[in-house]
Amino acid sequence: MNVYYWIIGAILVISVVLAIIRIIRGPSIIDRVVASDVILATILIGLVFEMVVNKHTSTMPIVLVVSMFGITGTVAVARFMSRKDES
């Protein structure tokens, strides 16, 4: 079972690295926002995976706060981009 944990961890690290590359390369703000959402989702998956492996729920408040930041940030950028398109 330990091998599966390492494989899942490697997949999560690869997804974060690819998202960071997308944030750096851009080219638009939408690409960067989607990449940051991918990073937040990967962090959430990692936290939930840790809860499942260790059989506890003590990090659930952290999961809720991180997901709240992701939703708030995405909505804020979407509103900013919609105002920019109107003018």
What pLDDT, in 10s, does the model give residues 8-54? 999 999 999 999 999 999 888 888 999 999 999 999 999 999 999 99
pLDDT for 20 equals 96
Crossing angle of helices 2-25 and 29-54, in 10° steps, is: 160
Q: How far is 18 from 10, CA to CA, in rounded Å?
A: 12
Does the pLDDT at position 87 exceed 70? no
Q: How far is 48 from 51, CA to CA, in rounded Å?
A: 5
Residue 86 binned pLDDT confidence (cut-offs 50, 70, 90): low
The H-or-E segment that residue 20 falls in is: helix 2-25
pTM metric for this prediction: 0.83
Kindly report, residue by residue over 61-84, the tens digit of the pLDDT: 999 998 998 899 889 888 888 776
Q: How many domains does the chain have?
A: 1
